[in-house]
Chains A and B, each alone.
Chain A
Amino acid sequence: MSGQQETSWANPAGDITWYATNGLKDPAILGGDFLYHDSGPCTAVTSTTTRAIAYWNAGGLTMIRYHMGMPSAGLTCADDCYTGTNCAESTPDATTLDNAVTAGTAENTSLNSKLDYVAVQIGAMQSANVAVIFALFHEAQPNGWFWWSKGTGAQYVALWKYAFDYLTTTKGLNNIIWLMPYSGLTGVSAPIAPYFPGKSLVDLSGPDYSDNVTAFDDVKTVVGTTMPIPLHESSAVNPASWFPSSPFVLWNIWAGYEDNAAATVKTAMTDSHTITRDMVPNLK
């Protein structure tokens, strides 16, 4: 399935309209990011969510990630940021990751508030009978870029389990397809297997960017042969080269990259293996 991440921070519709402008069909999947919340309160439904629902209603699927700011005392979704103090790319101190999943700590209160915000968004989708592929805590790898994967595998798994339980049990959400998103740069770090939360908590798992058989097999070694493997974030893709050795189930061109890699994206979108939005069966 083809996919396109929207530029949530500026002209988000531009990424999808690029396809029609270039004579292509719409991708099957629209990607979004909960980092951007329209300056509204954390209890408000964002335009990212509204666009996701609209894309579903137009026959597509939606896939969301969340550059969640690092949990810290007093911080909520309103404080989320990509780079800076207590942002997605920040480095946790020795206690942050453990405290985040420990009831009664300031970090746990902060994490809960951010998950409450997620629950508002995905809850709105659930109310609209929309399923969402949720790529939470993405680009997981030892020594990853984001705070959630700068600790040990056990800490990442604890965080994933906590979020899974919070959103499904505490918040009662049942419309999430859980995508456990690895980094595609598995060769530059310790083994990635300790970061896998287990099949009971994951529906899909795959790498990003590296659309080759090595990256595919690195994840397959961890998740086994019964779990679909997505390319959850990508630049240029070449689906014609994936079969039969590395049959990624979906791709998601990162925001703005569709234009940078226009030639390969156009080829990918017209490849005989590719599913576009008009080919998605009615899931309503």
Chain B
Amino acid sequence: MANCEAKLVVRETVSKPAILLVLGVVVLALAVVFGVFAHDDEGGKHLAPTPHDTEESIREPTPSAPTAVITEPLSAWPALVPKVAPELQTPEVLPAQARLDEATMVARLHELAASDPPQSLKLAREALARFPDSPRAPEFEWNVVKALANMDRYREAEEEARGMLEKYPDSPLSVDVDRHLLHRPPNPSRVQ
């Protein structure tokens, strides 16, 4: 009721040019927001994690539960989409087309390569959670392991690699993580 009264007051007391002015400011503000994120995308290719990419800020599932459902899916091509209030980024309100399909997630992981391990980790975990039975599931798991290793989180990477070997013992990707993380050559300092 109080809200309705407030709207009435606005209609009665604010002139039309003033409303247009306010709308103009809002449009301008939105343009600035979009511009900022477009700029972020241009500078998004970096090899070292930026401060906002820290482990704490990702809030990912623990390695012991790699396939746990992620309740906050990545929006489509996140670097290109302006970030909105967190409460709007829920599966219930996100339009269906905002969730990446499997092929697009694969392409995005390829594009990211080693440039942004936290983003790769988040994307690979989501792919694994959404497509656990896909033929590409070992590839998603491999990307999880790689992203952790690329962030020097080797203990977690090794744990994930062990789980991968159990789940996909015959996959060449499991062999790959095994020889790079679980049965790798020792450092010279350990043998000399």
Contacts and interface: CB of A to CB of B under 8 A. Distances in A.
Interface string B122-160: 000000000000000001001100100111101000000
Interface string A166-178: 0000000000000
Interface string B163-192: 000000000110110011000111111111
Interface string A70-87: 000000000011111001
B113 interface: yes
Contact of A151 (B47, B143, B175, B185): B47
By secondary structure, the B interface counts as helix
B150 to A, nearest CB: 5
Contacts of A142: 110, 113-114
Contacts of B189: 81
B111 interface: yes
B111 A67 contact: no
Nearest to B180: A145
Given A150-B47, A150-B114, A210-B172, A90 B152 contact: yes
Main secondary structure of the interface of A (DSSP, over half): loop
A220 interface: no
A164 to B, nearest CB: 23
A210 B171 CA distance: 11
B117 interface: yes
Contacts of A209: 172, 175-176
B187 A185 contact: no
B65 to A, nearest CB: 23
A94 B48 contact: yes
Given A36-B188, A142-B113, A143-B146, A83 B154 contact: yes
A92 B113 CA distance: 13
Nearest to A92: B47
B39 interface: no
A9 B172 contact: no
A185 B47 contact: no
B113 A33 contact: no
B11 interface: no
A9 B48 contact: no
Interface string A23-62: 0000000000101111100000000000000000000000
